[in-house]
Amino acid sequence: MNSDVKLAAAQLKKGKFIVLYDGDEREGEADLIFHASFATPAKIARLRKDAGGLICLATNIQIANKIGLPFFVDLLNNKKLKAIRVNKTAYGDKPAFSLPINHRDVYTGIPDNDRALTIKQFANLIRKAHSAMRNAFIQNFYAPGHVFLLIGRGLKNRRGHTELSLELANLAKLPAAMVLCEMLGNGKALSKKKAQAYAKQYGFVFLEGKDIFEVKK
């Protein structure tokens, strides 16, 4: 296993952040990621301040099927909404977005403590992986909320941050629940060079998609 990937997996197990760059040929964006079981208000605040993109929670297609989670684009079949549905992004992929959720114990759902609670409780839910997971999900969460779920299709089908981060969780032997947030700078995606500098400044592992692809070969 690539030494950087091995180190990243070890850091995930400790609740550390990873800077994950998908690749020059794709979005050309870096995401600040960590495992959902380590969610805290402080971590959510860091995503807001240091990354600045959309805070999302990724799980895999197997968990999504158990819970009954749909892809958001599949919900846009209503005649009035079908015209705005995007089946393919500018970089060629079907979007990974599912429902935005809140845990039922939050107030508005948007403050750092609320989003941290939603994320951590989702990680706790899927860790149990029991047959009643769907009922437990319905009992403990509602939509619309303030944490967007993403569904990974696996690296054979899609090579986005969603799939890359979930593969990293798999390599670390952690449940399929990863938190992602795009890193922005000057109104645009943070450059690869600046993302690398940020990772170095704070002692975070910097990974590229190709590093993870190499492990899968």
DSSP assigned state of 110: -
Verify whether residue 181 is a known catalytic residue: no
Verify whether residue 140 is a known catalytic residue: no
Verify whether residue 91 is a known catalytic residue: yes
The backbone region for 203, taken as left when phi is positive above 0, alpha when psi lies in -120 to 50, beta otherwise, is left
| Nearest residue to 146 via CA among 113, 194, 188, 190 | 113
Given the residues 25, 74, 87, 91, the one annotated as active site: 91
Given the residues 21, 22, 27, 56, the one annotated as active site: 56
Given the residues 182, 198, 208, 211, the one annotated as active site: 182
What count of other Cβ atoms lies within 10 Å of the Cβ of residue 165?
Answer: 28
Given the residues 2, 140, 146, 170, the one annotated as active site: 146
What are the CA-CA distances from residue 39 to residues 36, 79, 156, 188 (Å)? 5, 39, 28, 26
Whole-angstrom distance, CA of residue 190 vs CA of residue 49: 13
Q: Which residues on adjacent β-strands are paired with residue 179?
A: 34, 57
Given the residues 27, 29, 102, 163, the one annotated as active site: 102
DSSP-based three-state secondary structure for 124 = helix
- Sheet of 141-152: strand order equals 97-103, 141-152, 56-60, 178-182, 30-35, 18-21, 205-208
Given the residues 31, 93, 112, 211, the one annotated as active site: 31
Catalytically active residues are: 31, 56, 91, 102, 146, 182
